[in-house]
Amino acid sequence: MAPKILIYFVILNVILCCCQGKIDVDKYLKTCDRTSPEVNECMLEAVVDGLQRLCDGVPELGVPPIDPYHQEEIKVDYKNNQIVAKMVMKNVYVYGMKNAKIHDARLKADEDRFHLEIDLTSPKIVVTGDYHGEGRFNAYKVNATGQFNTTMHDLVYTWKLDGKPEKRGDDTFVKITSFYMRPDVGELHTHASGIFPDNPELTELANSFANQNWRIMYREMLPYAQANWNKIGVRVANKIFLKIPYNELFPAKL
């Protein structure tokens, strides 16, 4: 699965596009006092305000759309008993984040640690792309190329980010070390073309089997998706948090 969009980080990315001279954080983002008793309420407002504003992107500031979200390539190496498979997915697009609802946000941040959680639900997420896969089950081999389309309904998920404040020169920055997400999915339907290039009927049978057993397959593939999300989440977060001082993003006013 493609990575879900990091709304709060995309909002902050707008700031980076205007990095000539002093950054006016308040122009683009509702900042929150990390020491305030109302910090979670402030964070919730900041994320909600930014979602619809940036879903279509901000071309004049160089901010890409977050709906659809585009990932150039995803690679998966899968092994489970007699099953061995390698898959490369390209031109992956994720649709549906503009309809996501943010329910809560929780920030725990001090001089030694940084932890942010954002609770979301999405009524529908669609993932499309091209794929090439090679695999085998015992002596039976498969070599497939085609397109895929996966539709998920009623997703419930939380973004969890952990990091550590680090002193760099005269300023302190937060270095994000992990990004975690494990979506619960209400329903899932998937279709892939070309699974068996010379046998369309067998391809449809494979799709039918996948849809009948999607919960099992989802659990099997989730760790691979989470590894992908973690890499992207950490990379995107650090592009922002390692450039904007901690006290500008989350000032301590008390």
Quote the distance between the C-alpha of residue 202 and its chain's center: 33
Question: Is 254 part of any domain?
Answer: no
CA distances from 152 to 128, 187, 213, 231 (A): 12, 6, 14, 23
| Rounded distance between C-alpha atoms, residue 169 and residue 172, angstroms | 8
Name the residue range of residue 71's domain: 7-249
- 24-40 tens-digit pLDDT: 556 556 788 899 999 99
What is the reported pLDDT for 9?
52
Asked if 149 and 163 count as a contact pair (C-beta separation under 8 A), the reply is: no
Q: How many helices (H) and strands (E) does the chain have?
A: 6, 7
- Is-above-0.85 flag for pTM? no
Question: Is 22 part of any domain?
Answer: yes
Residue 138 above 50 pLDDT? yes
Question: Is 41 part of any domain?
Answer: yes
User: Residue 32: what residue type?
Assistant: C
- 66-119 tens-digit pLDDT: 788 898 999 999 888 778 889 999 999 999 989 999 999 999 998 899 999 999
Q: In this structure, what CATH number is given to the domain that contains residue 58? A: 3.15.10.30
Question: Is 227 part of any domain?
Answer: yes
- 155-206 tens-digit pLDDT: 999 999 999 999 988 889 999 999 999 999 999 999 999 998 889 999 999 9
CA distances from 14 to 71, 175, 190, 234 (A): 19, 19, 35, 18
Task: Tell me the sheet residues that pair with 85.
Answer: 78, 135
Question: Is 235 part of any domain?
Answer: yes
Residue 127 above 70 pLDDT? yes
Question: Is 44 part of any domain?
Answer: yes
Question: Is 1 part of any domain?
Answer: no
What is the reported pLDDT for 60?
53
Which DSSP category does 112 fall into?
Answer: S
Domains in the chain, number? 1
Tokens representing residue 158 in the block = 């939380």
Question: Is 51 part of any domain?
Answer: yes
Per-residue pLDDT band for 50 (boundaries 50, 70, 90) equals low
Most confidently modeled of 28-32, 57-61, 137-141?
137-141
